[in-house]
Amino acid sequence: YQQNPKTYTIVKQLLAEGNAGELQKYFGSRMEFGTAGLRAAMGAGISHMNDLTIIQTTQGFCRYLEKNFSDLKKRGVVIGFDARAHLSSGGSSKRFARLAANTFISQGVPVYLFSDIIPTPFVPYTVTHLKLCAGIMVTASHNPKQDNGYKVYWENGAQIISPHDKGISQAIEENQEPWPQAWDDKLIDSSPLLHDPYAMVNKEYFKDIQKQCFYRNINKETNLKFVHTSVHGVGHKFVQLAFKAFDLSPPFAVPEQKDPDPDFPTVKYPNPEEGKGVLTLSFALAEKDGARIILANDPDADRLAVAEKQE
């Protein structure tokens, strides 16, 4: 089934070498779909995240949604992605998101596909804001750089719970062969079923969070300084907008880490929960600029670590 030339070449070379050990690693067992969706390294074979496993997973998810929502073709789904990419296998979050969108659109399902990288919370927000049936976020969150993932949200904006995971997993097993046109993601660009919610959600989300701002006057007057790091993920732009929505002065951004970079060059693990190892540059900037509080997002900006300087 595999039509991605990079992963196809990897497998072809292993076969030519008779490398049974590596082939077992790639094809020994399929990724398990759980309540958190999928998460695995990008690469060849059914045990990795790649074009084929994304298509197969989305075909199963689509069939499962068809069984659960009679109005799926009216309401649709939303799909977002982060900045992860894996050159050797040709995989990237954007590529996977487009293939997933193509799968749904081929079945007549409207898709709200973000045109640019977003923080994970935008997906469940869009599900509830537009009253969609489900959402998909292509991200591996704070995992190492070689990983990617496929998070699934139900119509209530929450991650799925059991037995949905088992039902989706079964549907994936029953829909292994790629459907016609599954590989041609260029078809979606001219489809009337494709919608881009980026501008609308950017506006509505930051308007809505202002309802949670209870001390605007204090925010305007405070001398408190913040440092923020997005740890090479998607968070920088959106945290700046959130501070603006609350009338707070913008936080100082750690320059080496503010732009998305799938190689995460300054950290071993891009997880704020690792503490000092991830926050070294943040501590240095806070000391330089006299900031008392450090905020650190994980790469898909759905997790936050906070550090406060003690007197």
- The single residue of 47, 89, 106, 141 carrying the catalytic annotation is 141
If phi over 0 gives left and psi between -120 and 50 gives alpha, with beta otherwise, what is residue 43?
A: left
Name the residue with tokens 């891009």. Answer: 270
Q: Report the DSSP beta bridge partners of residue 137.
A: 80, 151
Q: Report the DSSP beta bridge partners of residue 297.
A: 304
d(CA 311, CA 308): 9
Known catalytic residue: 70? Answer: no
Max Cα distance, the chain (Å): 69
CA-CA distances (angstroms) from residue 121 to 66, 87, 182, 234, 302? 25, 27, 28, 12, 6
> What sign has the CA pseudo-torsion 187, 191, 195, 196?
positive
Point out the residues that are catalytic: 141
